[in-house]
Amino acid sequence: MIATNKIRNIAFLSTYPPRECGLATFTEDLVNEIDKIPFIQPSVIAVVDKEGYTNSQVKRKLSQHDRTSYLLTALWANDNVDLLVIEHEYGIFGGECGEYILDLAKRLKIPFIVTTHTVLLEPSPKQQAVLRELGRLSTKVVTMAESSIPILAGTYGIELEKLIFIPHGVPNMQVESREKLKINHGLQNKQVISSFGLISPAKGLEYGIEAVAKVVPDYENLMYLILGKTHPCVKESMGEKYRQSLMDLAQSLGVQDNIWFIDKYLTKEEVITHLHMSDMYLTPYLSKEQAVSGTLAYAMGCGRVIVSTPYRYAEEMLGGGRGMLGKFRDSDSIASCIRSVLANPVRKKEMEMKTLAVGRTMTWANVAAQYAELGMQIIDDRGNRTKNDTRRLVRPSIPNSHPHLAIVSRNGVKVG
Lateral strand order in the sheet of 323-325 = 259-262, 222-227, 191-196, 280-283, 305-308, 323-325
For residue 87, what are the β-bridge partners?
115
Q: If you count them, how many residues does the chain have? A: 416
> What is the per-residue pLDDT for 3?
47
Distance in angstroms (rounded) separating the CA atoms of residues 105 and 110: 10
Distance in angstroms (rounded) separating the CA atoms of residues 375 and 366: 14
> What is the per-residue pLDDT for 382?
81
3-state secondary structure of 285: coil
Distance in angstroms (rounded) separating the CA atoms of residues 194 and 186: 15
Q: Assess whether the previous peptide bond of 399 is cis (omega < 30° from 0).
A: no
13-39 per-residue burial string, b: 16 or more CB within 10 A, e: under 16: bbbbbebebbbbbbbbbbbebbeebee
3-state secondary structure of 114: strand
Mean predicted lDDT score pLDDT of the chain? 90
Q: Cα angle vertex 338, ends 335, 342, to 5°?
A: 135
Distance in angstroms (rounded) separating the CA atoms of residues 171 and 156: 32
Phi, psi of 72 (to 5 degrees): -65, -35
Which band of pLDDT confidence, cut at 50, 70 and 90, is reported for residue 397? Answer: very low
| Percent of the chain with pLDDT strictly greater than 70 | 91
Taking every pair of Cα atoms in the chain, the longest distance, rounded to a whole number of angstroms, is 91
Residue ranges of the chain that CATH labels 3.40.50.2000? 8-169+364-378, 178-361
- What number is the average pLDDT over the span 395-408? 32
pLDDT per residue over 166-190, tens digit each? 999 999 888 999 999 999 999 999 9
- What number is the average pLDDT over the span 312-322? 93
Which band of pLDDT confidence, cut at 50, 70 and 90, is reported for residue 21? Answer: confident
> What is the per-residue pLDDT for 4?
59
Distance in angstroms (rounded) separating the CA atoms of residues 169 and 345: 28
> What is the per-residue pLDDT for 5?
75
Crossing angle, helix 345-359 and helix 294-301, to 10 degrees? 110
- Given 3.40.50.2000, 3.40.50.150, 3.30.1950.10, 3.40.50.1820, which CATH number is that of 8-169+364-378? 3.40.50.2000
Residue 195 near residue 203, CB atoms below 8 Å:
yes
Q: Say which residues have a Cβ less than 8 Å from residue 145's Cβ, sequence separation at least 6.
A: 119, 165, 291, 292, 312, 313, 316
pLDDT at 405 over 50: no
Which ranges constitute the DSSP H helices of 318-398? Answer: 331-343, 345-359, 364-393
pLDDT per residue over 227-279, tens digit each? 999 998 899 999 999 999 999 999 999 999 999 999 998 888 999 999 999 99
- Given 3.40.1010.10, 1.20.950.20, 3.40.50.11540, 3.40.50.2000, which CATH number is that of 178-361? 3.40.50.2000
